Amino acid sequence: MFEITKKDKSSRARTGVLKTVNGDVQTPVFLPVGTKGTVKSARNDELKNWSAEMILANTYHLWLQPGDNLIKKAGGLHRFMGWDGPIFTDSGGFQIFSLGEKLKKGPANFVLKYDRDNKRSDNRQTPFNVQIKESGVSFQSGSSGEKKELTPELSVQIQNNLGSDVALVLDEFPGYPFEYEKTKKTVERTTRWAKRAKEEFLRLKKTGPDQMLLGIIQGASFPDLREKSAREISAIGFDGYAIGGVAVGEPAEEMYKAINDTVPFLEENKFRHLLGVGTPEDIVRAVARGCDSFDCVIPTREARHGKVYVSEKNGYKTMDIARSKFKDDFLPLDKNCDCFACLNHTKAYLNHLFKSGEILAIRLLTEHNLRFYLRLMAKIRKAVSGGDFAKLMKNYKNLERN
């Protein structure tokens, strides 16, 4: 299912091929987030043209609307949404925990602490009365008030109905700031849930789709708990692993430390996904620490707010296209980019579209940002394969705002 093709001599970076029934994926890879079965404002053929190889869909949202049974009836998520490439689905737990937290603490704190989901400011769709029990996580649906419970078994069943290529087990994650005793309990429960999920996965696999199942490693920023989680989840036996409990508001250095404390205890020849990450510099540094794939709403979410990523010789910078200084700037966003916006339009035109509230602005900026991320992954793969990853790391500067 996963084959390593090249290892970097100066770090844990590697290239590989993730083999699925719906196509091979070259790693390291970035997964555009298609929460509800669509990457916002992008068509599937466009995603293919931009070099997207695999997308991520959200179990929680598709379970509630339109329902996993309906999607199964349609022939699975690939047919339902018309995407013939690999699909990665998460377990649904993050959305229940984080959106429930949003309802309690308010939108401002939610935006600060949780970057992986971009919900509207109202709470009509968010879960409430969230309770974590040994059986699973129970809640009331924000849209109907109906009481529901997502269990490790049900999460696997839903993803089985969706027919994704890569599925995740249900886990519990601690919010930030991290507390040792609370984190220890989440690690232990995540292990117990992982065992139940694996049993259900093996039962369904006899007649279900050809899926990979990833175990999730927790432990926050505590080295002993990261090792404990990694060893316990590895012992259960999964097709690969996801590193969770990161990008939830902690400083970047704590996230890098969590990866460093996890990767040495995972099998070298298995696929590793870093959940909810992230910025371009986070991705580069996580690749150096041995991660193979990433998902994040940043490129699409930022496009909807007028923020674009522009390549530079030693990294990149960001631009706010709504700023008045771009009103009469008749140069492209990025002279090195091959997206439609950069080949055909100027910053002045994009500034006009965005300030006018035109939908085309969001479509063009979304394409540009996703193309930037996908080109970045191609650069990383080329650097690792050619033995130049250390140079890429050295030259890649931190975020420079413009």
Local structure of 332: helix, strand or coil: coil
Residue spans of alpha helices (H) in 152-210: 152-162, 180-205
Rounded CA separation 369/233 (Å): 35
Rounded CA separation 316/312 (Å): 5
Active site residues: 90, 295
Please tell me the pTM assigned to this model.
0.91
The pLDDT tens digits of the residues spanning 296-335 come to 999 999 999 999 999 987 789 999 999 999 999 999 999 9
Place of tokens 């997207």: 52
CB 28 within 8 A of CB 287: yes
Number of continuous H segments (helices) and E segments (strands) in the chain: 16, 17
The pLDDT tens digits of the residues spanning 331-389 come to 999 999 999 999 999 999 999 999 999 999 999 999 999 999 999 999 999 999 999 99
Domains, the chain, in order of start with CATH, read: 2-296 (3.20.20.105), 304-401 (no CATH)
Q: Which amino acid is at 173?
A: F
Closest alpha carbon to 215 in 26, 199, 178: 199
Q: Is 287 or 146 the better-scoring residue by pLDDT?
A: 287
Local structure of 366: helix, strand or coil: helix
